[in-house]
Structure 1
Amino acid sequence: MASFLKDLWNRLSGKSGAAQREEPAAEAVEYKGFRIRPAPYSARGGYQTAGIIEKDFETGLKEHRFVRAETHPSKDEAASFAIVKARQIIDEQGDSLFR
């Protein structure tokens, strides 16, 4: 469990290392003025749900990275689910996501 939390923290904080073989985020999807970039990564024999939500403000670009507990058998399934989860986050939190 501790190594999982350490890996999660490293991914969220952008630290590099052997466990950081994260592939580039997929093509962005526009939704209600936000950009969603699915960013699934290999984990526990599947692909972890993860992504980036971005929005341009007068003060510049803001982004929110998220990781969810769900894993999927394929990268494409994880990417599709990340878009669904990001839309849910946007619908629930809107711009307050970046505060």
Structure 2
Amino acid sequence: MSFFKKLFGGGGGETAPAGDKVLGEEQYKDFLIKAIEMRAGSELQLAGIIEKTIAGEPKTYRFVRADRMSSKDDLIALALAKGRQIIDEQGERIFS
């Protein structure tokens, strides 16, 4: 996978690293959205994972955005909202 795809949220079909610290999660339209902790110095960077099982195969999409914040509650709310937006805009196409 290219550097830019990783940087800007591409990543259909790959598995999530085992070390991700999940701060919050929610089910949305048969997808599971997870807000994950990604440190950027003393701040938290907006990042998350979208998962869905399609035809018996688990699919994972990882997204990272430039937004940074100091509050975990803000991070969770924004990451889940961004996950819902990605699902609404792209649906299962995120995995291709």
Q: Same fold (TM over 0.5)?
A: yes
What residue is the counterpart of 1:73 in the other structure?
70
Q: Secondary structure at the match of 1:76?
A: helix
Structure with larger Rg = 1
What residue is the counterpart of 2:60 in the other structure?
63
Match status 1:96 vs 2:93: yes
d(CA) in 2 for partners of 1:85 and 1:27? 13
- TM-score relative to the length of structure 1: 0.73
d(CA) in 1 for partners of 2:24 and 2:71? 17
In the TM superposition, structure 1's runs of 4+ consecutive aligned residues that sit over 6 Å from their partners are 12-15
What residue is the counterpart of 1:42 in the other structure?
39
- TM-score relative to the length of structure 2: 0.75
d(CA) in 2 for partners of 1:59 and 1:98? 14
Aligned partner of 1:52: which letter? I
- Name whichever structure is richer in strand by fraction: 2
Which residue, 28, 31, 52 being the options, matches 1:31? 28
d(CA) in 2 for partners of 1:40 and 1:84? 15
Between 1 and 2, higher relative CO (CA 8 Å, sep ≥ 6) is seen in 2
Q: Shift of residue 83 of structure 1? A: 0.4
> Which has the larger displacement, 75-84 or 49-58?
75-84
What residue is the counterpart of 1:19 in the other structure?
none
Question: How many residues are aligned here?
Answer: 84
- Name whichever structure is richer in helix by fraction: 1
Structure 1: which 5+ residue stretches go unaligned? 16-21
Q: Shift of residue 63 of structure 1? A: 0.4
Structure 2: which 5+ residue stretches go unaligned? none
Q: Secondary structure at the match of 2:21?
A: coil
Cα contact 1:41–1:75 (8 A) shared by 2: no
